[in-house]
Amino acid sequence: MCIFCQIVAGELPVHKVYEDEKTLAFLDIKPVNAGHTLVIPKIHYQNMEDIPDNELLAVVKTVKKVGALLKDKLGVAGYNLGENNDPLAGQCVPHLHFHIMPRREGDGLKLWPQRDYEAGEAEEIIKRLQS
């Protein structure tokens, strides 16, 4: 049983932010900023490809509620959403989860680096995706 399933089962303590029939939101134990919250489905799904659409909709609705709650109650001006899909992308717990990371002026959090496509690269990507 994964650590998030243990949390859902009540076997491990967390600081609950929100809970309903299908989802659970709780504070991340290693936050980017204070209020950094994880939102998970209560049923175990490893990643985005595994979760049925109706279950994903419930998770996204909870993400929206918790994001608004953080803005309202903590006074943050915005937040970043993150979902690391599979280990290569940084997924440490193999249970689908979304990070809601409150942002504050001058918090030092940087977004990912950006680059330009090389000549013909975008066209090749489109060909592969549409074939």
Catalytic (active-site) positions:
97
Closest CA to 100 of 120, 128, 124, 71: 71
The tokens describing 89, both together, are: 């992308």
Give the type of residue at 89.
A
CA distance 55 to 93: 19
